[in-house]
Structures are given as C-alpha cells and as structure tokens.
Amino acid sequence: MTSNEEKAILTLCLMAAFADNEKDDRERAQIRSIAESLSIGTPLDLAAVYQDVLLKRADLAGTVGALVTPELRNLAYEMAVCVCDADGAHNAEERAFLVKLREVLGLDAGHAGGVAEQAAEVASSGVPAATGATPAPTSPGAPAAVPSVDLAALDTSILNYAILSGALELLPQALASMAIIPLQMKMVYRVGRAYGYDLDHGHVKELLAMMGIGLTAQYVEQVGRKLLGGLLGGVAGRLGKGIGRQAASSAMSFATTYALGHAAKQYYGGGRRLEALRLRELFGGLLAQAQQLRGQYLPEIEQRAKRIDVSQLAQLVRG
C-alpha cells in the first residue's frame, strides 16, 4: 500500500470520526494527539490530515480518487463504518455520510449493507442500552447491599479480557480492532455488576471518558497503527506475517484493557467515590504497570489470536 493510499484511507476515517458533529473538545483533542503520534517516524503527516478534515479542506471525491482497486475501496469503507460504530451503532448523520461514501466509492449496496450490519452487531454486543422511556441517570444508584465479591475470580476475568483484547489487535481485520471496545465495555459492565451496580451503555461510556478513554479516538489509533504497520485487511498481510510490527499495538490493547478492568474494580469496589482526576491518575498508574506484564502473557495472546473466528466476533463479545 502506498503512502497516498494510506493517507486517503486515514482521511476517510477522520471524516467518519467527525461525521456526527457531536465529538466534544476532549475527544477532538485525543484524536488530534493520536494523529500527531502516528505521524512520528512515518512519511505520512497525519496531523496535517487531521487539520484538513477538521477545517473541511479535504474533499471526499478527491480523497477516494487515490483508491483505485476494489480491495482498497472495500477496506476504506469497512474502516469508516467501524469508526462510525466505535461509540455505538451509528446515528442518522453518520448513516448519511456512509451512504454518500459508498456511492462515491462505487460499492455494491448489498455488500456495503452487510459490512454495516456486521459492524453494528459487534458494536451493540457489549453492554445493553438503557431501557424504558425515561433516560438513564448520569450515574447508577448505589446497590441496596454490597455483595460478596470473589476477588480472585474477578482478577482472572479481567486478565482474560486483556489477553483477548491483545489477541484481537494481532488480527488483520479492521472489525477485530473495533470489537476491543465493546469487549472492554462488557468487562466494565461485569465488574460493576459484581459490586451490585446496575449499569447500561451510557454509564460505562461515561466512566471510560472519566479515565480519558474516548471510544472513537481509541479505534482511530488502533486502525491507524495497523494500517501504517502494514497489517490491515486482505491487501495488507495475515496473522504471523506482521506480528512483530503489531506487537506495540497489541501490548497497548492488553495494557489498556487490564488497567481499565482494575480501575473499574477499585472504582465500584470503593463505592464510586473517586472523582475524575483521581480516577484518571489511578488508570494511568495501572496502565504503566500493565505494560510491564504483557510480555509475560505474550504466548497466550498469540495462541488466542489463532483461535479467533472473525465471523463470530459479536458472539465472542457477548460471551
């Protein structure tokens, strides 16, 4: 894949990230920081691409023109769909963007619809949305009685989620990276439930934001590293061919998931008394610790990656 093709695909991903016009300043700042970090050591100035997209200097038709093969056009559409679904199934504005993108790319509507349907299924498989006509409260109420928690079992569960997240990051499919986000949310949901808190998608998303984790930003970083490392899609390689190049991203996914799980454990186990700043500091310290652990579990991560059936990602997250 040429640098012009990489630039075009990442430009479309950033367009998708801002298609809903609802990203707050915090997540915009995260995406900008990611764009700057991904520019280091590569010929692609993604920070400049970010500015072009944000200031609407990037043209959809002109960007798509750099993608001349059907494989690259399908890959670009798949990644854009996953970006739109990273923080939940896409809304009306994102849907309109994807329809326009599909038309400009010249993709078959049936195939594109199948990609969107699969991504939406994975996105919605992690944590249930709030039910009923009344919106969920900003924070779940305290449990009536604090349950007895099997801490060893909870630690094992968090470790298993971290290993699976690291394994997913080794796979070449864009959808595999997207599955990490609902998987992390499912883990937090289960940690909260272990301590008696009745959570939904909004509660978990808010907690991740308090720790400084933007869902769209996280996915943009994951796919950006895969793309620039030459490990994305059928046009870019298979598992085993680029494991060394993808090790850093896999390590980060493992560490982020591990730290997130243990931060959630302390947060809910302590009765949700930690404020945002303290919670972010806690997560940062746990992240640094978790990054030292990844090498210890690398064989398990690689073996887990070889057993994943990408066609069953939604079921994998639900389980």
Cα–Cα distance for residue pair 299/309, rounded to 1 Å: 18
Does one domain contain both 287 and 176? yes
Residue 135 lies in a domain: no
End position of a domain, from candidates 74, 108, 123: 123
Does one domain contain both 67 and 160? no
Residue 140 lies in a domain: no
Element (H, E) at 39: helix 25-39
Query: Residue 47 sits in a domain of what CATH number?
Result: 1.10.3680
Does one domain contain both 77 and 115? yes
Residue 306 lies in a domain: yes
Does one domain contain both 179 and 302? yes
The neighbour count for residue 180, using CB atoms within 10 Å, is 25
Torsion of CA 174, 302, 293, 231, to 10 degrees: -30
The neighbour count for residue 188, using CB atoms within 10 Å, is 28
What average pLDDT does the segment 183-193 reach? Answer: 94
DSSP character at residue 212: T
Contact between 169 and 237 (Cβ < 8 Å): no
Residue 239 has what pLDDT?
A: 41
**Letter for the amino acid at 272?**
R
Residue 94 lies in a domain: yes
Residue 39 has what pLDDT?
A: 78
Residue 145 lies in a domain: no
Does one domain contain both 111 and 213? no
**Spacing of C-alpha 159 from chain mean position:** 18
DSSP character at residue 295: G
Residue 144 lies in a domain: no
pLDDT digits (tens, 9 = 90+) for 26-79: 778 888 888 888 777 777 888 898 899 988 899 999 999 999 999 999 999 999
DSSP character at residue 202: H
Would you say the C-alpha torsion 11, 14, 18, 20 has a positive or negative sign? positive
What average pLDDT does the segment 248-260 reach? Answer: 87
Residue 62 lies in a domain: yes
End position of a domain, from candidates 123, 139, 163: 123
Cα–Cα distance for residue pair 203/139, rounded to 1 Å: 6
pLDDT band at 224 (very low <50, low <70, confident <90, very high): confident
Computed over every residue of the chain, the mean pLDDT equals 85
Does one domain contain both 109 and 190? no
Does one domain contain both 297 and 187? yes
Does one domain contain both 158 and 67? no
pLDDT digits (tens, 9 = 90+) for 104-127: 999 998 988 898 898 889 988 888
More confident call, 188 vs 90 = 188
* C-alpha Rg value of the chain to the nearest Å: 19
Structure tokens at 70: 């059907």
Does one domain contain both 305 and 176? yes
Number of domains comprising the chain: 2
Does one domain contain both 66 and 204? no
pLDDT digits (tens, 9 = 90+) for 38-52: 777 777 888 898 899
Residue 40 has what pLDDT?
A: 75
Q: Which distant-in-sequence residues (6+ apart) come within 8 Å of 136 by Cβ? A: 130, 200, 202, 203
Does one domain contain both 155 and 281? yes
Residue 59 lies in a domain: yes
Cα–Cα distance for residue pair 24/9, rounded to 1 Å: 23
What average pLDDT does the segment 206-210 reach? Answer: 90
Residue range(s) defining the domain that contains residue 13: 3-123
